[in-house]
Structure 1
Amino acid sequence: MIFVFSLSSSADLNNVRFSAYRTAMKLRRLQKALCLDLLSLSAACDALDQHNLKQNDQPMDILQIINCLTTIYDRLEQEHNNLVNVPLCVDMCLNWLLNVYDTGRTGRIRVLSFKTGIISLCKAHLEDKYRYLFKQVASSTGFCDQRRLGLLLHDSIQIPRQLGEVASFGGSNIEPSVRSCFQFANNKPEIEAALFLDWMRLEPQSMVWLPVLHRVAAAETAKHQAKCNICKECPIIGFRYRSLKHFNYDICQSCFFSGRVAKGHKMHYPMVEYCTPTTSGEDVRDFAKVLKNKFRTKRYFAKHPRMGYLPVQTVLEGDNMET
């Protein structure tokens, strides 16, 4: 089966220089094509409960997947009848799930894989998704060991892998990510949800594509009362990048993602990203940072690059992502 939303559908996004944003923008396009941006977490959970999908290590065959997807999309059609074509959405989502989780074409995927795919792309707060997914691999006492966390991270990394982007997120070997999480938890044998959430808030390299997807969605309708110093777009729509080295220096997402810079501004200079319009408090804070950075040398910025995520050291696959 060939999934309608092929990689070529996102070919125009391949010129986005930063892998986390390139992946997130492809996933946002996919999310909309599958109408999963309309699916609330509670509606997804209701459908999963209705089909009694509680044993996460159990396999689902194609008929079970279709039945559950039909329940999900029937409900979405009732709420958004002019946006949802049930047979088309079921067919496309089935194809996507099989492309991600059934590369051997066995006609089966695990219940955990189904949940990971649907919940990752549904409409919900980021931390609600984290809590739900952690609960799927935790024991009845609410704790999770390394093996079970590995199952969740393995299923999660398959999503960028299917887009050909896995190397930027540490590769398909999730052992370093599991090790990173448990080192963060002082090498306890098991972790609880609160520790997992604290680790995920650091945006570990293997999972950074998911919070970036949420920022991409939030930025879509953002309008900033600022002018891009490169292409002169005003107001800036989408992401706004404000320099923390120069006063009143802003870049729109198109120029930032393509790596364009104006004279006198270097790529390694610190910038702050906004996916929603700035508040007066943020303006004051940024002004103070620019003032401080005015007295710092070029050598300082080259020596102190800002890492926007928690790097995960890998042995074989994948280089560290761009800052």
Structure 2
Amino acid sequence: MIEAFRDNGLNTLDHTTEISVSRLETVISSIYYQLNKRLPSTHQISVEQSISLLLNFMIAAYDSEGRGKLTVFSVKAMLATMCGGKMLDKLRYVFSQMSDSNGLMIFSKFDQFLKEVLKLPTAVFEGPSFGYTEHSVRTCFPQQKKIMLNTFLDTMMADPPPQCLVWLPLMHRLAHVENVFHPVECSYCRCESMMGFRYRCQQCHNYQLCQNCFWRGHANGPHSNQHQMKEHSSWKSPAKKLSHAISKSLGCVPTREPPHPVFPEQPEKPLDLANIVPPRPLTNVNDTMVSHMSSGAPTPTKRLQYSQDIPSHLADEHALIASFVARLQHCARVLDSPSRLDEEHRLIARYAARLAAEAGNMTRPPTDLSFNFDANKQQRQLIAELENKNREILQEIQRLRLEHEQASQPTPEKAQQNPTLLAELRLLRQRKDELEQRMSALQESRRELMVQLEGLMKLLKEEEQKQAAQATGSPQTSPTHGGSRSMPMPVHSTSAGSTPTHCPQDPLSGVGGDVQEAFAQGTRRDLRNDLLVAADSITSTMSSLVKELHSG
């Protein structure tokens, strides 16, 4: 986690600095991609899904207002709390972010840490039980005094811990026993084995429950929920239990170790070995030296620096080795951790190798020394140039990646900064609305025309039937009756008020004047042709409208 913070430059930013969601996504991506590289192929994770889940959870927990920005301290506190690892290492890192140069905890920063970390249970609806209050700091440290690292660890890792942080060690215990196997049968659900916690009754003989049955309050037989239960996070065979009981009765059991090692009260200052310990000769370029960084963690770095004043450096190296031996004798408890022991051993081995190499170089003639020095200087310059080019290439890759992400995901802020783009977008939307309205009007007009055409076809059909019936069924009349009855023919009215009274009602009277005028004359073939022409006109109009919509 610390490596990811450094790779993304968070260690150089102030705690109150705000970072964007895109940069947070870059940090999370680097974490999961580096983690996936270190996992075996059988335990690979879905990186994209993991990044999306964690990013959305952090935004929901820490950016409820939707500002799109989070502080550096919030990101560090949340990721350090949720990452996998020992609780001791997490608390040490958190204390380093809240302490001053003298190793004293700053209460204002601890209060800010509680505000940030208690947003995690609030995000899963546990705010009423573990929410932040103004008295949260007082509940952790009732007396306002100087809080050093050991006091901070004793308070946070106590049993029970502070009330507002009870959930933190519980989550670590759950994660620790998640895959622990117990070859014991559950007395309630009769499951042949258990995973996770195992609970054993202190009153009922050989009565054991799995964590699911215990958490649900299940009980059967003589057992009751009021009985005292003991929680087991591991499985011991009967042989181990017997040997442990015998050792305990004989007093061979070692005293219980403290919950955490005792650390020095004063923070260790990082050692600057650049001018004290030169590197080995170039006969073995792959050797690396360990240099202390700001956090105290050793990181291998290739150094190719020589010193012309060899006797003074030999004296400095002897003094440094003597100081390390004194520290090993005086602070044995502090240096019990394997990482610190390995660090000191590697440094001492490094110094011994340098002494042997320097002694061999001192026996050489001055011409060989000057020649080697010039060659080493050229190689150092070449390596420095290559490192600078590599750094520039990495920066360029990072810049191009950010530009690609910003281009692929345009934000509303960028759209607001380009008025030309907004104007074009507004015109396109307006044009789209106009075309949709025009299409709707044309569709409505087409529907009305089709209805009118259908009505005209019905009228023509009825007129043909009437003419056929009159031609076959009506008797021939004599011319002496004064005049024969005339066939009903359409008569065009020249005024709206005049109405023909000497003939039946016009079958086209319900149609507009233009349509009536078009269909009042000509044969039936002309009428059908006109109908087909009108239908073709409607079809061509709709086709042109569709083409215009597609082109727009």
**Pairs aligned (count):** 238
Residue 167 of structure 2 corresponds to residue 209 of structure 1: yes
CA distance in 1, matches of 2:99, 2:245: 43
The aligned residue for residue 312 of structure 1 is: none
CA gap 1:281/1:220 in 2 versus in 1, 3 angstroms: farther
Q: Residue deviations 1:111-154, cap 9 Å, x none?
A: 11111221222121111111111211122222113322111111
Query: What residue is the counterpart of 1:168 in the other structure?
Result: 129
Query: 1:190 aligned to 136, 146, 159, which one?
Result: 146
Corresponding residue of 2:533: none
Percent identity between matched residues is: 29
Match for residue 84 of structure 2? 123
Query: Using a 3 Å threshold, how does the CA distance of structure 1 residues 218 and 86 change in structure 2: closer, same or farther?
Result: closer
- Hey, what does 1:146 align to over in structure 2? 107
Aligned to 1:143, the other structure's residue is in SS state: coil
Deviates more, 1:248-257 or 1:213-222: 213-222
| Residue equivalent to 1:235 | 193
Q: Which runs of 5+ in 2 are unaligned?
A: 250-552
Distance 2:25 2:195 in 1: 38
Instruction: Tell me how far apart the structure 2 counterparts of residues 268 and 204 of structure 1 sit (CA, whole Å).
Output: 26
Q: Is the 8 A contact 1:146 1:189 kept in 2?
A: no
The structure with more helix, counted as a fraction of residues:
2
Partner residue, 2:499? none
Deviation at 1:92, TM superposition (A): 2.4
Contact 2:204 2:222 in 1 (8 A): no
2:208 matches 1:250: yes
Deviation by residue 1:17-37 (Cα, 9 ceiling, x = unmatched): xxxxxxxxxxxxxxxxxxxxx
CA distance in 1, matches of 2:140, 2:243: 31
Residues 283 and 208 of structure 1, relative CA distance in 2, 3 Å threshold: farther
Q: Which residue of 2 aligns with 1:179?
A: 138
Equivalent residue in structure 2 for 1:52, among 9, 20, 36: 9
Taking structure 1 as the reference length, the TM-score comes to 0.67
TM-superposed deviation, 1:162: 0.3
TM-aligned CA deviation for residue 98 of structure 1? 0.8
Q: Is the 8 A contact 2:188 2:219 kept in 1?
A: yes
Q: 1:77 to 1:224 in 2, by over 3 A?
A: closer
Give the corresponding residue for 1:14: none
Mapped contact 2:114–2:132 kept (Cα < 8 A): no
| Mapped partners of 2:228, 2:126: distance in 1 | 26
Aligned residue identity for 1:139: D
Residue 231 of structure 1 aligns to a residue in which SS? coil
Cα deviation 1:259-280 (Å, max 9, x = unaligned): 1122433323221111221462
Q: Which residue of 1 aligns with 2:31?
A: 72
8 Å Cα contact 2:139/2:163 also seen in 1: no
CA contact (8 A) 2:186 2:209 kept: yes
Query: Matches of residues 91-106 of structure 1 in structure 2 within 5 Å?
Result: 91-106=52-67
Distance 1:130 1:192 in 2: 12
- Structure 1: runs of 5+ lacking an equivalent: 1-43, 289-323
Question: Does structure 1 retain, via aligned residues, the 8 Å contact 2:203–2:227?
Answer: yes
Task: Report if the CA contact (8 A) 1:146-1:182 is conserved.
Answer: no
8 Å CA contact 2:20–2:70 kept in 1: the answer is yes
Paired residues of 2:19 and 2:69 also in contact (CA < 8 A):
yes
TM superposition shift of 1:237: 2.3
For 1:216 and 1:109, the matched residues in 2 are separated by: 29
Q: 1:282 to 1:252 in 2, by over 3 A?
A: farther
Are residues 143 and 221 of structure 1, via their aligned partners in 2, closer, same or farther at CA, if it must alter by over 3 Å? same
Deviations 1:141-191 (A, max 9, x none): 22113322111111111111100012233x332x333112222xxx24331
| From 136, 150, 154, the counterpart of 2:97 | 136
Matches of residues 20-35 of structure 1 in structure 2 within 5 Å?
none
Distance in 2 separating the partners of 1:58 and 1:282: 57
Any idea what SS the aligned residue of 1:245 has? coil
Structure with the bigger RCO (C-alpha within 8 Å, sep 6+) is: 1
Letter paired with 1:230? Y
Letter in 1 for 2:132: S
Partner of 2:183: 225
SS in 2 for 1:251: strand
Q: TM-score, normalised by structure 2?
A: 0.40
Deviation at 1:282, TM superposition (A): 11
Q: CA deviation at 1:199?
A: 1.0
Q: CA 1:78–1:236 in 2, change beyond 3 Å: closer, same or farther?
A: closer
1:237 to 1:69, Cα distance in 2 relative to 1, 3 A: closer
CA distance in 2, matches of 1:243, 1:151: 42
Please say which structure displays the higher CA radius of gyration. Answer: 2
CA contact (8 A) 1:216 1:275 kept: no
- Asked whether the 8 Å contact 2:184–2:194 carries over to 1, the reply is yes
Measure the CA separation in 2 of the matches of 1:152 and 1:109. 14
- In structure 2, distance between residues paired with 1:76 and 1:201: 28
Report runs of 4+ in structure 1 exceeding 6 Å deviation. Answer: none
**3-state DSSP of counterpart to 1:144:** coil
